[in-house]
Chains A and B, each alone.
Chain A
Amino acid sequence: MHLNKVSLEARHISLSYGSTEVLRDVNLKIEPGEFFALLGPSGSGKSTLLRLIAGFNQHQRGELLVDGQDITGTPPHARNVGMVFQNYALWPHMTVWDNVAFGLVERRETKDAIRRKVGAVLELVGLAAYAQRRPGQLSGGQQQRVALARTVVIEPKLLLLDEPLSNLDKQLRVQMREELKNLQRKLGLTTIFVTHDQEEAMTTADRMAVLDKGILQQVGAAAGLYDFPVNRFVAGFVGTANLLEGEVTAVGGETLTFRVQGVGELTLPRPEVPPPLGAMALAFRPHQVSIRVRDEQVDASRLWLNGRVESAEFLGEFSRYRVRVGEVAMVTDQPHYAGLAMFAPGAEVRLGIEPTQVRFLDR
């Protein structure tokens, strides 16, 4: 199958149901052949955006361009945008073969062409032997492959996936993730998929967009979003983060001073582009914080704070502690090895923050 790769661009798209704004001024460009994820919590508008691209929702303002052409107002059946639904939406009254052939029949293709294409795509997803089964006789993973085959067989311009893995159990999910990625590479289709699972988005997509409350928060590759979140929401949603509210009180040549509410003043190395003076949040990841007993000799390059362990969770790969420092709680993850004793709740400890990994967030 040779599919042309297309780009998708959303310009100033807004959508509301009555007085509820679901999407607010969304701007987004997805490159040809890209595997792109829309990531966000439920109610963030990510599914609405996907359905809007498919033509099931209509935006009130803005433009939606496929290869530079506005498709706003084109009905769903004329868009040639394939969508795989969360519940797969296989028709129970048709066999696997008929499900896959559906779109080709609608396109009035010849019997020969239909036979050839359906056979090829079922081969591609490894279901050639199941052509005469009904969807109800297939496992969840097989149903999903049928749904995929049914969609890619019409050679759509775009492939849309709505929470494609959420109905599968954990092991199958990891396996299907791989399959999905391979299939996308093989076909080279511009693919957009919606998920609320950051791990799924990070492992599968080339780039992703994080949405919250109908607003596009940040777009980028997984590592970029993880290392340099632009605001508190992205810092907390992509990975786990400690967020300390406070304000930058002074910026010097080498250092700056940040006063954390309920903790006190911290002196940090000045980043290349220093933050402005004023209120903001300090963000850093739990694994970038080390935990030591109070009187131990410590690495002077870290920033050390005294605290008391509030709770400890053993998670296998690491142990997670909640530590009270002044009036705030911080979370730290420590790699676990056999024989390593855990800190008990109530233990007096010191936390060491890696200063180069700290981010200043003004939003």
Chain B
Amino acid sequence: MQAAALRPGTAGPGPWIAFGLILAFLLVFLILPVGTVIYTAFVNEGGVLTLGHFANFFSQGVFRESFFNSLWVALAATFFASVIAVPLAYLTVRFEFRGALLIQTLGVLPLIMPPFVGAVALQLIFGRSGSVNLLLDDWFGFTIPIMDGLVGVTFVESIHYFPFILLNLVAAMRNIDGAMEESALNLGARGWRLFRRVIFPLAMPGYLAGAALVFVKVFDDLGTPLVMGVTNMLAPQAYLRITSVGVDDPLGYVISVIMIAFSILALWMAARVMKGKDYATLQKGGSALQKRRLTAWESALAYGWMVLILLVTLAPHIGILLMSFAKVWSFSVLPDAYTLEHYGTVFSDANHMIGNTLLYCLLAAGLDVVIGTAIAYLILRTQLPARRWLDYLASAALAIPGLVLAIGYLRLFKGMNLPFTETPLVGTWVLIMLAYAVRRLPYALRSCMAALQQVHVSLEEAAQSLGATRLSTIRRVMVPLMAGGILAGFVTSFITAAVELSATLLLASTESQAPMSYGIYLYMQSISGRGPGAALGVLAVVVVGLGTYFSHRFVERSRATVQAKQEG
């Protein structure tokens, strides 16, 4: 009855001003740059609409090949990520066994390492002359070329991104009301049929959301193929065209448009299939799915699978750690000698990179939560017309690869100066920071929306009826109650921005403005730089790991406060 607070008579100008500012920000730093990219792909030098660039693109063998390579790698990585994740998800939710904590760890471990760092580390473990193949060659006389070319990219991406499917699927299955299963059992469905007819359809939305995300991430990834020396894919081709031929080369834009189109297509298809099917909701007081004990031989199988996955997902972490301490490490199973000097190098030479990362990411994450909170407020607490569009626009950033956004910035802001100065805008760190902010806004926005949704409207209405103005209500009641969620959004934005590479590669114009992610990439380009690169990578992993841990804690704590009240 009181779901929406309708107070059109008391709106005042405040919400309109916030709406205008956010809209302007999104227009200038998201819509216009992306629009420029799309426009450039469809016009010739004379400014006439044309499909010529696309014809040119598909007429060249190297581009056709890149296109199909990207598509296949993305599909294959989604498939293998599902093969890894689905059994793990089912195990956690369905069975009573001690591995649940292990699986939760599995769900986070790969995410805290940037995929391009993981790629380097995996070379050392699984590469042609990596530890595993050296051992295999010694003992059995054969090797597995799993890190070569497209297979290698698929392997690295599957290992890195399967947690997206795992986490989404576990969340969806946890939400299935146990009563649904019980009533199916009661009506005579059992075993495989129960799974196929009841549990699987109910968990489908969660799976699709995760799978679509994996597809998009892999399709758009630039860092991993570049680090692995694979250039016959779309993202590396676009990067090479823009950096070697120049920012006016239309083929870079054609590739950008194709990448956007596939991202949107994947997300749209997932959303379409899910439409109206998000029915896996646990009733208040309902219980989750029943858990069953594993038989001895089932648990042997389960543990076997888990340990295998755990070893593979831990491999990059172990590899990067060893490499950061290794004096010499080539053609041997383990490093020949150990040293701390790489960390010394990093702290003396790359101090500014750590500082840059902190500066850019703190600013970007701060911007994100301010905008995210404002959008959440406008959507959930006002009746402004078209307020939903802010959500759609901000979330559209999900479908825009970092590379494409960077290309758009280079094109749109070419020749512009920073306000009140003679410094060209392109080439300052401000653009890097803004690219981070725009790209991570969807995450922060989701956090803020969830946080505000948990705050019952009556908590704010009570403040108003006791004489608090709108601003005072926001300051004294709303923001304190949302604090946990806002903080979690901040940390998520911060840590994901800290490992962003694709936009950084194009936008960082001098070494002095490079953040850590770019530094790792630069170091990894030379054999002698691999040690310090790994050391920097370890630092990044530690930062991201700690951040993930704390954001988890914040969310749990704020949920506990709000719920303690509402159930009390």
Contacts and interface: CB of A to CB of B under 8 A. Distances in A.
Contacts of B473: 77
B1 A42 contact: yes
A235 B458 CA distance: 34
Name the residue in B2, B463, B565 with the highest tally of chain A Cβ atoms < 10 Å from its Cβ: B565
B466 A154 contact: yes
A47 to B, nearest CB: 5
A139 B467 CA distance: 27
Contact of B6 (A56, A92, A147): A56
B7 A83 contact: no
A89 B468 contact: no
B512 interface: no
A92 B564 contact: yes
Interface residues of B, number: 33
Contact of A102 (B6, B9, B466, B561): B466
A97 B443 CA distance: 37
A163 to B, nearest CB: 10
Given A42-B1, A77-B467, A107-B467, A89 B10 contact: no
A216 to B, nearest CB: 18
Contact of A93 (B463, B561, B568): B561
A57 B6 contact: yes
A120 to B, nearest CB: 17
Contacts of A135: 565, 568
B2 A83 contact: no
Nearest to B1: A47
A79 B465 CA distance: 7
A57 B562 CA distance: 26
B522 interface: no
Interface in A37-80: 42-43, 47-48, 51, 54-58, 72-73, 75-80
A160 B458 CA distance: 14
Given A89-B456, A89-B458, A89-B459, A47 B467 contact: no
Contact of A47 (B2, B5, B456): B2
Contacts of B5: 56
A93 B7 contact: no
Nearest to A43: B1
B273 interface: no
B456 A102 contact: no
Contacts of B566: 87, 92
Given A57-B6, A58-B7, A135-B568, A92 B465 contact: no
A83 B462 CA distance: 7
A135 B566 CA distance: 9
Contacts of B6: 17, 56-58
A103 interface: yes
A57 B461 CA distance: 11
B568 A77 contact: no
B466 A103 contact: yes
B9 A138 contact: no
Nearest to B562: A92
A259 interface: no
A151 B565 contact: no
A318 interface: no
A136 B564 CA distance: 5
Nearest to A42: B1
A59 to B, nearest CB: 10
A91 interface: yes
A308 interface: no
B468 to A, nearest CB: 5
A51 B10 CA distance: 14
Given A77-B469, A91-B459, A58 B561 contact: no
Contacts of B461: 54, 56, 76, 83, 85, 89
B10 A106 contact: no
A278 to B, nearest CB: 38
A134 B461 CA distance: 20
Nearest to A52: B6
B467 A80 contact: yes
Interface in A166-184: none
B12 to A, nearest CB: 8
A56 B466 CA distance: 13
A146 to B, nearest CB: 11
B561 A103 contact: no
Contact of B465 (A17, A57, A83): A83
Interface string A84-104: 011101111100000000110
A57 B464 CA distance: 13
Interface string B1-39: 110011111100000000000000000000000000000
Contacts of B318: none
A57 B456 CA distance: 17
Interface string A117-160: 00000000000000000111110100100010011001000001
B462 A85 contact: yes
A75 B11 CA distance: 9
B568 A55 contact: no
Contact of A85 (B8, B458, B476): B458
Nearest to B564: A136
A81 B458 contact: no
B472 A106 contact: yes
B476 A102 contact: yes
B210 to A, nearest CB: 33
Contact of B462 (A43, A89, A92, A93): A89
A165 B293 CA distance: 45
A180 to B, nearest CB: 18
A33 interface: no
Given A91-B459, A134-B564, 17 more contacts: A17-B6, A43-B1, A56-B2, A57-B7, A81-B465, A85-B458, A90-B462, A90-B565, A91-B463, A92-B481, A92-B561, A92-B562, A93-B481, A93-B561, A102-B468, A103-B468, A151-B465
For the complex of A and B, 8 pairs with smallest distance between CB atoms: A92-B565, A103-B466, A136-B564, A75-B10, A89-B458, A89-B462, A76-B464, A106-B467
Interface of A: 17, 42-43, 47-48, 51, 54-58, 72-73, 75-83, 85-87, 89-93, 102-103, 106-107, 134-138, 140, 143, 147, 150-151, 154, 160
10 contacts: A77-B466, A89-B456, A89-B461, A90-B462, A92-B561, A92-B562, A106-B466, A135-B568, A136-B565, A150-B462
